[in-house]
């Protein structure tokens, strides 16, 4: 197969995407299997991967976006391609990215259908037990970054409360409330706890809350995410982390504007659900370019691509998560890889122009039938 890796575009003003679809190491493995790799010149530079690094592993560096999209059987990138990018794709070719089609709008899905392409979303590739293997690694990175972000925003110079996350002798640590006990919530809790914070995790799943309780041996307070509890815990939070995920869907609003109004001035909200719409009403309303803004006296962090802040680490991690799927495509072809691997098949939004996922239409086409399984 021919795989293409284009440059990434800014998701929103002052919010650049610095990751790249594949690291040189990942390209090397695919080239060794006989794949052709087309890398747009400069695509890896923001993550520290220069063109020569790709050339040394056998990838071809090309100098036009048209060539990457036009020559590739499968384009691998981070963010959703633009409408103009889709115009460059050949019928029957494919795109893999964090597509989040629930937020893209009907016109975007219609363009995918018009071009006759196959669209696979990293965020909905799913194993039989519900694990999201590609999204998982980005969630883990974001969770581990949460204290870095919170600590910076809480500083006096940033407009925060001027408190230290871990406190000091005789001075209590910050109260950190995490909405969501999934992968991101778990790693955020572990990271904040390691700094000595008082950590509280809310979720609707008793099973996830029990897992958090076991993992941290009762050192993290857990509670059901009822409206009453969300109101109660958000009111005293000095850091509130939104880590709510409904795979492939727009995130539900958990924290309302009225709840934000009850928070103390200079406290911090980090809405990691923002790439799926946001789980806090005041981030759902958007804000100034760059993703950091003040609303209702509270500092908000609403950046849709937080792992891009550590672009090199994130690119390596994403590449390793993707390689098994890309190798399967190289070995079998895209159609056969989809037909034989249910995890990959669950990640398919559109197949050759046909909407095959409930995340984009109420009446999806039968992907198994399209693949020749009956």
Q: Could you read off the pLDDT of 57-104 as tens digits, one per residue?
A: 999 999 999 999 999 999 999 999 999 999 999 999 999 999 999 888
The residue among 249, 269, 301 that closes a domain is 301
- Name beta bridge partners: 301: 270, 292
Residues 172 and 235 in one domain: yes
Q: Concatenated DSSP letters for 237-249? A: -SEEEE----TTS
What confidence score (pLDDT) does residue 46 get?
Answer: 95
To the nearest whole percent, how much of the chain has pLDDT over 70? 97
In a domain, 133, yes or no: no
The residue among 301, 318, 339 that closes a domain is 301
Residue among 114, 64, 65, 67 nearest 91 (CA): 114
In a domain, 34, yes or no: yes
Strands 354-355 and 348-351, how do they pair?
A: antiparallel
Average pLDDT, the chain: 94
pLDDT tens per residue, range 34-48? 999 999 999 999 999
Residues 39 and 178 in one domain: no
Tell me how far apart the alpha carbons of residues 369 and 374 are, in angstroms, rounded to a whole number: 5
pLDDT band for position 291 (cuts 50, 70, 90): confident
Residues 109 and 147 in one domain: no
The residue among 269, 301, 333 that closes a domain is 301
CATH of the domain at 43: 3.40.50.720
Residues 111 and 148 in one domain: no
Residues 149 and 119 in one domain: no
Tell me how far apart the alpha carbons of residues 303 and 271 are, in angstroms, rounded to a whole number: 8
Catalytic residue annotation:
100, 275
What Rg value do the Cα atoms of the chain yield, rounded?
A: 21
What confidence score (pLDDT) does residue 289 get?
Answer: 60
Residue 16 has pLDDT above 90, yes or no: no
In a domain, 316, yes or no: yes
The phi, psi pair for 183, rounded to 5°, reads -60, -50
pLDDT band for position 1 (cuts 50, 70, 90): very high
Tell me how far apart the alpha carbons of residues 251 and 335 are, in angstroms, rounded to a whole number: 31
Residue 288 has pLDDT above 70, yes or no: no
Domain limits for position 293 = 142-301
What confidence score (pLDDT) does residue 142 get?
Answer: 97
What confidence score (pLDDT) does residue 14 get?
Answer: 53
Residues 89 and 175 in one domain: no
8-state DSSP, 288 = S
In a domain, 134, yes or no: no
In a domain, 159, yes or no: yes
In a domain, 292, yes or no: yes
Q: Distance between terminal CA atoms of the chain?
A: 26
The phi, psi pair for 45, rounded to 5°, reads -60, -45
* 18, 87, 210, 254 from 204: Cα distances, Å: 34, 42, 11, 11
């Amino acid at each position: 197969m021919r795989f293409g890796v284009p440059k990434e575009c800014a998701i929103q003003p002052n919010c650049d995407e610095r990751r790249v679809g594949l690291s040189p190491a990942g390209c090397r493995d695919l080239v060794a299997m006989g794949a052709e790799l087309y890398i747009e010149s400069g695509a890896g530079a923001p993550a520290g991967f220069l063109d020569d690094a790709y050339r040394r592993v056998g990838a071809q560096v090309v100098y036009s976006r048209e060539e990457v999209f036009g020559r590739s059987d499968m384009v691998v990138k981070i963010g959703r391609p633009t409408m103009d990018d889709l115009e460059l794709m050949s019928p029957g070719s494919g795109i893999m990215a964090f597509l989040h089609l629930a937020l893209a709008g009907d016109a975007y899905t219609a363009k995918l259908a018009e071009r006759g392409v196959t669209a696979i979303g990293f965020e909905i590739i799913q194993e039989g037990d519900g694990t999201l293997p590609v999204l998982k690694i980005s969630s883990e990175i974001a969770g581990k970054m949460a204290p870095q972000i919170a600590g910076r925003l809480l500083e006096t110079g940033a407009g925060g409360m001027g408190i230290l996350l871990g406190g000091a002798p005789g001075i209590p640590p910050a109260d950190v409330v995490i909405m969501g006990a999934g992968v991101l919530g778990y790693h955020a809790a572990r990271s904040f706890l390691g700094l000595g914070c008082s950590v509280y995790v809310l979720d609707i799943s008793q099973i996830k809350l029990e897992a958090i309780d076991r993992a941290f041996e009762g050192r993290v307070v857990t509670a059901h995410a009822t409206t009453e509890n969300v109101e109660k815990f958000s009111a005293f939070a000095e850091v509130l982390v939104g880590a709510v995920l409904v795979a492939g869907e727009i995130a539900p609003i958990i924290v309302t504007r009225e709840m934000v109004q009850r928070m103390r001035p200079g406290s911090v909200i980090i809405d990691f659900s923002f790439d799926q719409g946001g789980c806090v009403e005041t981030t759902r309303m958007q804000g100034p370019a760059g993703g950091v803004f003040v609303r209702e006296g509270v500092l908000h962090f609403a950046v849709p691509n937080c792992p891009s802040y550590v672009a090199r680490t994130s690119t390596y991690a994403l590449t390793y998560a993707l390689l098994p799927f890309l190798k399967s495509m190289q070995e079998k072809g895209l159609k056969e890889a989809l037909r034989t691997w249910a995890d990959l098949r669950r990640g398919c939004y559109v197949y050759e122009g046909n909407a095959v996922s409930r995340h984009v239409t109420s009446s999806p086409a039968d992907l198994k039938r399209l693949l020749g399984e009956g």
